[in-house]
Amino acid sequence: MLNKYSWLVIVEVFDGKRFASAHRVSNSVNLLFELEGFKSAESVNIADSKKAAVDLADYWNECYRKNGTLYDWMTRK
């Protein structure tokens, strides 16, 4: 039986800086419609589980932090 939800890892770009985050989406929605809200999305990947999605987003954000391209949600920079 299919899962009711899937997990996506979405990388968004703001002012040249990136931020990755995990998002749960219902398998019964139109994915194109769901992703329209992410106007600044640079990439979207499907993950096998919530843990896999969060781990991947955390890994990418750590890489962005190390190379100086992590977008900081607190300062909006």
Asked if the model's pLDDT at residue 74 lies above 80, the reply is no
R_g over Cα of the chain? 13
pLDDT score at 10: 98
pLDDT score at 3: 75
Q: What is the pLDDT of residues 19-71, one digit of tens each?
A: 999 999 999 999 999 999 999 999 999 999 999 999 999 999 999 999 999 99
Look up the domain containing 45 and give its range. 5-66
pLDDT score at 2: 67
Residue 37 lies in a domain: yes
DSSP character for 15? T
Residue 72 lies in a domain: no
Question: From the CB of residue 67, how many other CB atoms can be counted at a distance below 10 Å?
Answer: 9
Write the single-letter amino acid at 43: S
Residue 31 lies in a domain: yes
Residue 74 lies in a domain: no
The rounded distance, in Å, linking the Cα atoms of 56 and 21 is 9
Asked if the model's pLDDT at residue 1 lies above 70, the reply is no
The rounded distance, in Å, linking the Cα atoms of 77 and 25 is 28
Which two three-digit tokens encode residue 43? 């990439």
